[in-house]
Each structure stands twice: as C-alpha cells, then as structure tokens.
Structure 1
Amino acid sequence: MYFIQPTRDIPYLEQVLDTLPSVQMIHIDDISLYDPTIIAIADVQDYLTHQWNLPTIVLAFEDEGTALVQAWEQGALAGWLWSRLPENPPQALRKIDAQYKRNQDSRDLPSAAELQKKLLPNPIELCNYRVDTLFKPSAYLSGDWFDYWKISDKEIMFYLADVSGHGVTSSLLTSWMAAFHGRSKTPRELIKKLNGMLVQENIEKHITMISGILNIETHELRWSSAGHYPPAIIIEPNQAPKILNTSSFPLGLTEDLEVEEFECVLNKQARFIICSDGALEPYSGGLNEQFEQLVFHLQNQSFQAPDHVADDIAILSLCRTK
C-alpha cells in the first residue's frame, strides 16, 4: 500500500508509520506515476484538496469530523484518526483491501456480462433453415450457453449447455466451451472431449448439454444428450409435439461416460428446440406440469421470459422453412 506524504505538520506521523511497516511512502506530485488500483493512506485535507483517483483511507484529527464526512462523500474507503488508529492496523488494512477488491469485482460484472454476450454466435444464413435463440441470464453472468457453427457447406453443428450453479466459475466454463468446441466434428466427440477435460481438471461443476449436427440438404439430424433436462422437442404443424427423452449422465461426473447418438429427419416447417431448465421457471406446479406448460407455449410460439428470473434461460431452435 502507499502512504502519501502529508503536506501539513502531523505530530503523530512517525507513530503511525511505525505501526504500518509495509507501506510505501510517495509524494503527492508523483501520484500519477503509481498503480491506481492500490490503496493509499493519506491526510484528509490533502485528499480533499487534490482529489486523486487512488482508493484511499484518510486520516484526520479529532476535530475534523466534517472533513471526514466530505471525504466519504468523495469516495474515501475509510476514515481513521491520527491519534487513535484501529487496534490492529495491518489486519484492518487487509480487511479494507479485501472488501475493496470484492467491490471492484462487482463493478466489473456489467462489463464482463457484455464480453460474455459478445461470445454468443452471430446470426447465420442457412438455406432452408432459420436459427432462433433466446438468452436471458439471471444475474450479470450466465452458466447457460449455446453455440452453432458450420462444419461444411451443408452441415451445421450446435449445442446448448447448462453449467451447474451460478456465478463467475459457471460463466467461465461457458467461455471455455466456446473456445474449445471447434476441435470436435460430431456430437459424441464434443461431449466426450468436454467430459474428459472436466474430469481431468477436477472442476467441481457438472454440465448438462445437448449437441447435434444438422444436414441442411438431407434434413437429417444427429444428436446426443448428456443428462440434459428438459429433453429436446420437435414441433410440427398439426402434429403432437415429439419429446425426445434420453437417459444419460451429465459431464464431469465419471470418466466412463456413455454417449448415445440419435437420428431423426426434420420435415417441412418442423422446429427442433432445446432449452435450459430455466425455461421451466415461468410456470407453476411440479416438474411435469411445468414441462407441459413450456411445450404448450413453445408449440404456440407464445413463450415469454419473465422480466426477472432466478435461473438462467437459454433456448435454441432450428426451424426448417422449406
């Protein structure tokens, strides 16, 4: 931490410095040369006069209560008295530093969320098909993710994944998947490779996902599921929805993950839809009742995500237009 040399006479200065042996003394004129993320300790009057951007703990005399208030309003992290420091100053500084870093992390979340959204796939032009998506994080960062990309002139590969839990770790895994997937050419290969890396790194998270390949010329769809719920759904005009139930384990639980691959053909106007479990949240009742309501609204194209959600929502739909 920095200690900014006071410009006025402070009778307690040497006594204070003796209790803070690890601080680096700097001069006010040199502040711009130092790291703006490191906490500084300074006299309250210097802080009010020069209004620098360093995160600062201010020191004041006992009769300078008004100056302390002004310093807090200006953004000071804490206010101490020159004549009466906390009982254990180094420990108090560590606590303030930890809280400051946590607050900085929180301030960075909106920017991190924007960066995460930029990793989402760009719209893609496909002959005879349209890709529809919905992405709604419950907080700044999401543990739900989808992606799609061309692997040839006539094939598109895709997946939708749901990382267990919330927060930064879950969202980092979505970014990891976005960077990793390009090495895989089949749904089974993608799932097996991701599972192997999760188990090897011993990350205490599991991931459910559905991955597939669509041939936009033959309309053949091959797909695999790794413990994902809700199951994939095929919706066609004037037909009952087809629920593509499977039985499998999520990624990250066992090295010996068995991955089945399924096949179907999409008819004209058919929609192949995969969702994260957050899509069930708008509906009441048990799991089966929620799923029935979700299917009803997807079939009628009336699904609406709430303004505020407790769980991330992601939906990916492949629609055959001709």
Structure 2
Amino acid sequence: MYFIQPTRDIPYLDQLLAALPTVQIIHLEDLDLYDPTIIAIADVADYLECQWTLPTVVLAFENEGASLSQAWEQGALAGWIWNKLPTSLHTSLIKIDAQYKRNQDSRDLPSAAELQKRLLPNPIELLNYKVETLFQPSAYLSGDWYDYWKISDKEIMFYLADVSGHGVTSSLLTSWMAAFHGRSKTPRELIKKLNGMLMQENIEKHITMLAGILNLETHQLRWSSAGHYPPAILIEPNQEPKILTTSSFPLGLTEDLEVEEFECVLNRHARFIICSDGALEPFDGGLSEQMGQLVHHLQNQSFQAPEHVADDIAILSLHRMN
C-alpha cells in the first residue's frame, strides 16, 4: 500500500508510520508514476484539494467531520481520525483492500459479459439449413453455452452445454469448452474428450451436454447426450413433436462415462431443437407440465424469454429449410 506524504503538519504522523512499517511513502507530484489499483492512505485535506483517482483511505483531525463526509462523497474507501486509528490497523486495511477488489470485480462484470457473448459462434451459412439460437443469461455471466462449426463441406458439428451452478466459475468453464473442443469428429468423441479433461482438472462442477453432427446433404443427424435435460425435441410439419429422451451421466462425475449415439433423419422443414433447463423456468407446474408448455411454444415459434430469468437460457435449433 501507499502512504501519500501530507503537505500540512501532522503531529500523529510517526504513530501511523510505526504501525505500518512496510508502507511505501510517495509524494503528491509523483502520483502518476504508481499503480492506480493499489490503495493509498492520505490526509483528507490533500485528497479534497487534489482529487486523485487512486483508491484512498483518508485521515482527518477530530474537528474535520465535514471534510470526511465530503471525502466519502467523492469516493474515499474509508475515513479515520489521525489520533484514533483502528487497534489492528494492518488487518483493517486488508479488509478494506479485499472489499475494494470485490467491488472492482463487480464493476468488471458487464465488460466480462460482453466478452463472453463475443465468444459465441458467428452466424454461419449452410446448404439447406438455418441455425437459430437464443442466449439469455440470468445475471451478467452465463453457465449455458452452445457452439457449432463445419467439420467438412457437408457436415456441421454442434453442442449445447449447461454448467452446474452460476457465477464466474461456471462461465469460465463455458469459455474453456469453447477453446478446447478441438478436432472431435463425432458427438461421442467430443463428450469423451471434454469429460476426460474435466476429470483430470478435478473441478468440482459437472456439465450436461447434448452434442450432434448433421450431414447437410443426406440430412442424417447423429447425437449423444451427457445427462442433458430437457432432451432434444424434433418438430416436423403436420406431425406431433417428438421428445428424444436419452439416459446418461453428466460430464465430470466419472471417468468411465458411457456415451450412446442416436440417429434420425430431418425431413423437409423439420427442426431439431436443444435447450438448457432454464427454458423450462418461465412455465408453471412440474417438469412434465413445463416440458409440455415449452414444446407447445417451440412448435408454434412463440417462445419468448422473460426479461428477468432465474436461470440461464440457451436454445439451439437446426432448421431444414427445403
């Protein structure tokens, strides 16, 4: 931490410096040379006159209550009296520093959320198909993720994943998946690869995932699920929607993950849709009732995510156009 040398006489100065023997003393004229994220301790009169941007704990005399109030209004982290310092000064400063860092992290969340959205795949031109997506985090950062990419001129690989929990750790795992899905050529291979890496890192999170591969010429679709709910939904014109239920474990629970592969053919104007479980949250009732309402709205293309959601929502749809 920094201590900014006061420009007025302070009779209690030696008392403070003795309590903080490792503090770095700097001068007002040199402020621009120092790290703007490190907390400074300074006299309130200097703080109010110079109005620097360093995070600062201000010190005042007993009759300078108005100056302390003004300093807080201008952003000072805390205010103390020169001759009545906290008993455990170093511990108090550590707590203030920790709170300051937490607040800084919170201020960074909107920028982090924007960066996360930029990692989502760009729209892609496909022969005979359109990829339709929805991405709505419940807070700034999402633990839901989807991705898709061409593995040849006639095949596309895709997945939708849901990381357990919320917050920064869950969102970091979505970025990890985006970076390390690698050159997998089948849904089973992709799931096995990510599960092995998750088990190796021993992260106390699990991930549900549904991954697939679509042949754009034959319209054959192969997919695998790793404990993902809700299951994939197949919607075709003039047909009852089909819920493609599977049974399996999520990623990150066992090294011996059994992965089945399933197949179907997408007929003209069919839609193969996968959702995160947050897509059920807007609907009332138990899981069965929620699933029925979700399918109804997807079939009628009337699903709308609420402005404020309790859980992240992600939807990925492969729509055969002709």
Q: TM-score w.r.t. structure 1 length?
A: 0.99
Cα displacement string for residues 239-259 of structure 1 (whole angstroms, at most 9, x for unaligned residues): 000110001000000000000
| Matched residue type, 2:316 | L
- The one-letter code of the counterpart of 2:147 is D
Structure 2 spans left out of the alignment, 5+ residues:
none
Partner of 1:135: 135
> How far has the Cα of 1:109 moved from its partner?
0.3
What do residues 18-43 of structure 1 show as CA deviations (whole Å, max 9, x unaligned)?
11112100011001000000000000
- Decide which moves more: 179-188 or 132-141: 179-188
- Could you tell me the TM-score, scaled by structure 2's length? 0.99
- For 1:171 and 1:305, the matched residues in 2 are separated by 20
User: CA separation in 2, counterparts of 1:217 and 1:183?
Assistant: 21
2-structure distance, mates of 1:198, 1:130: 32
Task: Give the partner amino acid of 1:174.
Answer: T
The reply to whether residue 145 of structure 1 matches residue 118 of structure 2 is no
- Counterpart-to-counterpart distance in 1, 2:157 and 2:48: 59
Shift of 1:183: 2.3
Aligned amino acid, residue 133 of structure 1: T
- Gaps of at least 5 residues in structure 1 are none
Match of 2:161 in 1: 161
Q: State the SS of the aligned residue for 2:15.
A: helix
Match for 2:36: what amino acid?
Answer: P
Match of residue 296 from structure 1: 296
Q: How does 1:4-153 map to 2 (within 5 A)?
A: 4-153=4-153
Q: Work out the CA distance in 2 between the residues paired with 1:285 and 1:137.
A: 22
Letter in 1 for 2:34: Y
Does residue 197 of the first structure (1) align with residue 197 of the second (2)? yes
User: Take 1:90 and 1:184, find their aligned partners in 2: how far apart are those partners?
Assistant: 53
| CA deviation string 1:176-199 (max 9, x = no partner) | 000011321111011001001111
Structure 1 runs (4+) greater than 3 angstroms displaced: none
One-letter amino acid of the structure 2 residue matched with residue 176 of structure 1: W
Tell me the distance in 2 between the aligned counterparts of 1:25 and 1:184: 56
Percent of aligned positions that are identical: 83
Aligned length: 322
Deviation sequence 1:34-62 (CA, Å, 0-9, x none): 00000000000100111111100000000
Pairwise CA distance, 1:16 = 1.0
Residue type of the partner of 1:214?
Answer: L
Aligned residue for 1:232?
A: 232
State how far apart, in whole Å, the 1-side matches of 2:238 and 2:182 are.
Answer: 37
What is the one-letter code of the residue matched to 1:193? K
Aligned to 2:186: 186
Other structure's SS at 2:181 match = helix
**What is the rounded CA distance, in whole Å, between the counterparts of 1:207 and 1:45 in structure 2?**
54
What SS class does the counterpart of residue 204 from structure 2 fall into? coil
RMSD, aligned α-carbons: 0.5
2-structure distance, mates of 1:48, 1:297? 59
